[in-house]
Amino acid sequence: MSKADEVIETIDAGDFTDVDGLIQESLEQDDDQTKFSLAETLLSRGLSVQAKVVYQHLLELYPDEGQILSRLAEIAVSDGNSDQALNYISEIEPDSPSYAENLLVSADIYQSQGMYEVSEQKLLEGVRKYPEEDVFRFAIAELYFDENKFAKAIVFYNFLLDDGIEEYSGISLKLRKSSSLAGMGKYEEAITEFEQLNAIELNEDAQYQLGFLYNQVKNYNKSIATLEKLLDVNRDYPTAYVVLADDYLNIKNNEQAFKYAQLGLNLNELDERLYETAFDAGVSENPEEALNIINKGIKSVEHPLTLIIRLSDFYITHGQYKNNLDLLESVDINNNPKLIWNLAKSYYETDDLSKAQENIGLVFDEYKDNLDFLNDMIDILRSTGDKPALKAALKLYLRQNPDDEDMQNLLDQMG
C-alpha cells in the first residue's frame, strides 16, 4: 500500500490527526504519478490546504507542467488570492494541454475583478481555439448575460441549444434565452419561450418573470393567474405582490389591489411602488388607511419624492390646501416643478397671494405650454393685480386655446 493510500484511508476513517505527517511521507516515498493522484483526490474532497502542499511539491519537480499550475491557480482563487492565481496561469503556454483550463480560470479571475473586457477576450479565444468545447460557449453566454448584453448572450445560448444542449451546469439554457429576450424588451417573444418551459424549468423565479411579462403586455388576467399560482407555493415572494397589485389596479379591482399592496408591504416596507399602488387603490376603498400608508411610506423609503407628489396632488384635487402646505413645509421638495406649482396653488387658495405669484413664476418655463398651469397663473395674477404679467399670460393662453371666449373677453377688457 502506498503512503498516498494510507492518507486517504485515514481521512475516510475520520482521523485527521496524522494526515499532514502521512502526506509528507508520501512526498518522500511515493512516485510522482501517485502523488499527483493524491493531490487530485484531496482537492476533490475539499481539502485544498493539503492538496496545495502536494501540488507545490510537484511544481518544484515539474515547473512547466500546466495541469499543476492550473490546479494551484484554482486553489489561489478559492483562497481569494487572484494575483497569485494569475501568476500561476501566466506560466502556462498556449501549446500546453492545460491551456484551455488556463483560459477559463483567468476569465473567471478577471470577471471577479470587474475586468469584463479582458474576461471576454479570454473566453472568445477559447471559443476560437477549442470550438468543440461547449464550456467556452456557455461561459461567454453567461458573461454576456451577467453584463446585460442579452443579444450577444442569445447568440451563444442558441449555439448550444441548436446542438441539443438544453441544460449546462444545472442551468436551463431555454430559461436563460427567455430571460435574455425579456431583458431586450422583446416581451412577446419572451412570453412564447417561457410558455414552452417544462414544470422544472418554470421555477419560482421563472414564474415571476412570466407574470411580470404578462403585466408588461397588459395581459393582466394571465399575470394574475401566474403570480397567484406562485404565491400559493411561496407566500414570501415579495416582488410578486408589486406586480399583482398593479394588475388588479389596472383591471379596476381596487379592493384586491389594495389587499395585495398591503400584503407586500408586510414583507417589504421599503418598496415605493407598493406604497403608490396601496394609495392609488386605497383612496376609494379606505381613504383614511390609504393616507396612513402613504404618510408611512414618505417617512420610510429612501427617496420619497414620488410619494410626496402623489399625496400633494391628492390634497390639491380634494381642496385640502392647508394640508398640502403642511406636507410641503415638512419635506424637501428638491426644486421639483410639480410640487412648486402645487405650492403656488395652495398659497393662492389660502390667500397668500405674494407667495403664490412668487412660486408660480418659478416654474413658468417648465409649464408654459400647459393650459391648466396657465389657467392657475392667470387666476393668481388677476388676484395680485399684476396687469402686465396677466396680459402676457392671457396672450400665451389664447395662442394655445383661441376658442376660450372667457379668456378673450378678459384680455379685451384690459385694452
Q: How does DSSP assign 190-224, residue by residue?
A: HHHHHHT--TTTS-HHHHHHHHHHHHHTT-HHHHH
Report which DSSP code applies to 136.
Answer: H
Please report how the helices 238-250 and 204-216 are oriented relative to each other, as an axis angle in degrees rounded to 10: 20
> CA 306, CA 295: separation in Å to the nearest integer?
12
Instruction: Report helix, strand or coil for 310.
Output: helix
C-alpha cell at 283: 383612496
Q: Residue 415: its pLDDT value, please? A: 67
pTM (predicted TM-score): 0.76
For residues 167 and 175, the answer to whether their CB atoms sit within 8 Å is: no
C-alpha cell at 393: 399670460
Angle at 282 between CA 280 and CA 288, to 5 degrees: 120
Element at 167 (helix H, strand E): strand 167-168
Contacts made by residues 252-258, CB under 8 angstroms, sequence distance 24+: 254/281, 254/282, 254/284, 254/285, 255/281, 255/285, 257/281, 258/282, 258/285, 258/286, 258/290
Report which DSSP code applies to 30.
Answer: S
Question: What is the chain's pLDDT, residue by residue, as a tens digit (415 residues)?
Answer: 788 888 888 888 777 778 888 889 888 898 999 999 989 998 998 889 999 999 999 989 998 888 888 889 889 888 888 888 888 888 888 888 888 988 998 898 888 888 899 999 999 999 999 999 999 999 999 999 999 999 999 999 999 999 999 999 999 999 999 999 999 999 999 999 999 998 888 999 999 999 999 999 999 999 999 999 999 999 999 999 999 999 999 999 999 999 999 999 999 999 999 999 999 999 988 999 999 999 999 999 999 999 999 999 999 999 999 999 999 998 888 789 999 999 999 999 999 999 999 999 999 999 999 999 999 999 999 999 999 999 999 999 999 999 999 999 998 888 6
> CA 242, CA 233: separation in Å to the nearest integer?
17
> CA 128, CA 166: separation in Å to the nearest integer?
22
Q: Spell out the domains of the chain, with CATH numbers in brackets.
A: 146-198 (no CATH), 203-301 (1.25.40.10), 303-414 (1.25.40.10)
Q: Residue 265: its pLDDT value, please? A: 97
C-alpha cell at 85: 492565481
> CA 121, CA 118: separation in Å to the nearest integer?
5
> CA 107, CA 298: separation in Å to the nearest integer?
45
Report which DSSP code applies to 302.
Answer: S
Residue 261's identity, in one-letter code, is A
Report which DSSP code applies to 93.
Answer: -
> CA 151, CA 181: separation in Å to the nearest integer?
8
